[in-house]
Amino acid sequence: MSEIEGVHLSESTSYSGKIIEINKQPVIECALDILTELVKYKTVILKARGESIPIAVAVANVITENMLKGNSKILDIEVDSENADGKYAYALVSIIDITISKIN
């Protein structure tokens, strides 16, 4: 696994693009790092869990509405949940996958 300024980059590449796990970090820094990955792979999948979901949504919006306006779009959004160890046994944790593609 590699680390680019707080963005956890998964070593696996799916058929539709690079998978990037979003953790708690500044939105603009994360967006710039992901922009670099979009140049290489054309499509990236932002994965976030729990409290990192708002950051992933903000990053996707910054990229598609500001940085690459007209040259990128959100292809898919998947929302799910999973069991995780919590303070009182098991708790559900929300998960989001946002697929962003560079058009040109």
Non-local (6+) Cβ contacts of 42 within 8 A are 17, 101, 102
Question: Is the overall model pTM greater than 0.75, yes or no?
Answer: yes
pLDDT at 16: 57
Burial of 22: CB neighbours in 10 Å, binned 0-12, 13-18, 19+: buried
Each domain of the chain, given as residue ranges in start order, spans: 2-102
Is it the case that residue 1 has pLDDT exceeding 50? Answer: no
The domain 2-102 is placed in CATH, from the list 3.30.110.20, 3.20.20.70, 3.30.70.260, 3.30.1360.120, at 3.30.110.20
Which tokens in the block code for residue 82? Answer: 């999973």
The 10s digit of each residue's pLDDT in 15-72 is: 557 899 999 889 999 999 999 999 888 999 999 999 999 999 999 999 999 999 889 9
Residue 65: how many CA atoms within 13 Å on its side-chain side? 7
